[in-house]
Structure 1
Amino acid sequence: MSAPLYDFSVPLFIRGLNALSHIIKKGEEYANEKGNPLSELLEWRLAPDMKPLSFQVQTATDIAKNSITRIAGTEPVVMEDNETTIEELQARIARTIELLKAADASQFAGKEDAQITFKTGPREHVMTGQSHIRNFALPNFFFHLSIAYAILRSKGVSIGKMDYLTSFLTEA
């Protein structure tokens, strides 16, 4: 028998967002040390046609908060995607973590086979709760987390694998 969806999602989202907060802080310290305007940090990207760091943070938080509301059947919490400072991005991460911590595990019980319908752009997707977490939410979340890490690393921020993994190695 598999563990409840809550156990496979909420704690991982929280740990991932803690890692994201940590590497963003390291990016802020690097920018300050190098005399780079912090506003530039939010616009860093891996390639000209890729979305910037701010988008990666916004998307990772959206995936986490939207996934829990889809599974639990609660009202979505809207965030405007209008952060223009590091402090605002950190506040968004913290707010998302608080939403995740407030999630009621009992609302996830038995939702493995429940139908979840959601849109990404113009496409509508229909999945079970389990496939939503396993095949969409977690891979998508970790993609944006990894891209944020890669953006910072590519710009010279002194972060390593343990900056990413430490949050996952501690018991919450």
Structure 2
Amino acid sequence: MSPPLYDFSIPLFIHGLGTLSHIIKKGEEYANEKGNPLSELVEWRLTPDMKPLSFQVQTACDTAKNTVAQIFGTEPVFIDDNETTIEALQARIAKTIELLKAADASKFAGKEEVEVIFKAGRMERLMTGQSYLTSFALPNFFFHLNTAYAILRTKGVPIGKLDYLTSFFTDE
């Protein structure tokens, strides 16, 4: 049995990124079907004052991979936020999944109480590994995953609840 901190992070992140990849693929198919340039798809937004689809993907990926680094107390793998195509977004998702799959489950043992310094802008907060995961990482990850879903759905992409949940039903 793997440590709980692993069980409630890495598999959820991997499944969520699988969902993200799937719904973006559906968005690509929809854009092609409607004759919309794929270059516009990465810039779709819910509202003009919100960040685009590309940002939602980048942030979901960063949250997932950086959580491992935060909990282990290591430097996160840096990925430049320069994706301007669907292919580049899919590559970023695949790279993040690869990094997550490489995380050694046994190294999560006992990390529930490790000190994590959470920084956001000028705010800095000391948290435990468990509170970082449950109070920031998972909510932030799912916020950006859900926002990507909402962007695609509001643009008419035919996705539904099963498109969102199917990746979570796999055993990977």
Cα distance in 2, alignment partners of residues 126 and 8 from structure 1: 21
TM-superposed deviation, 1:124: 1.6
Give the aligned partner of residue 162 of structure 2. 162
Map of 2:129 onto structure 1: 129
- Superposed counterparts of 1:29-108, under 5 Å: 29-108=29-108
1:11 paired with 2:19, answer no
| Alpha-carbon separation, structure 2, partners of 1:104 and 1:70 | 14
Write the distance in 2 (CA, Å) between the matches of 1:37 and 1:134: 38
Instruction: State the Cα distance separating 1:102 from its structure 2 match.
Output: 0.1
- Which residue identity does 1:87 align to in structure 2? E
1:121 Cα shift?
A: 2.4
Distance in 2 (CA, whole Å) between partners of 1:72 and 1:88 is: 28
Residue 66 of structure 1 aligns with an amino acid whose one-letter code is N
The residue aligned with 2:25 is 25
SS at match of 1:164: helix
Indicate the larger mover: 121-130 or 94-103.
121-130
Q: Please, which runs of 5 or more residues in structure 1 have no aligned partner?
A: none
The residue type paired with residue 45 of structure 1 is R
Cα distance in 2 for residues equivalent to 1:170 and 1:83: 28
TM-score for the superposition, normalised by structure 1: 0.96
> RMSD of the TM alignment (CA)?
0.9
Q: Take 2:124 and 2:42, find their aligned partners in 1: how far apart are those partners? A: 30
The CA distance in 1 between the partners of 2:146 and 2:117, in whole Å, is 26
Structure 2: give runs of 5+ residues left out of the alignment: none
Equivalents in 2 of 1:80, 1:41: separation in Å?
19
Instruction: Report how far residue 69 of structure 1 moved.
Output: 1.0
Q: Does 1:171 align with 2:168?
A: no
Report how many aligned residue pairs link the two structures.
170
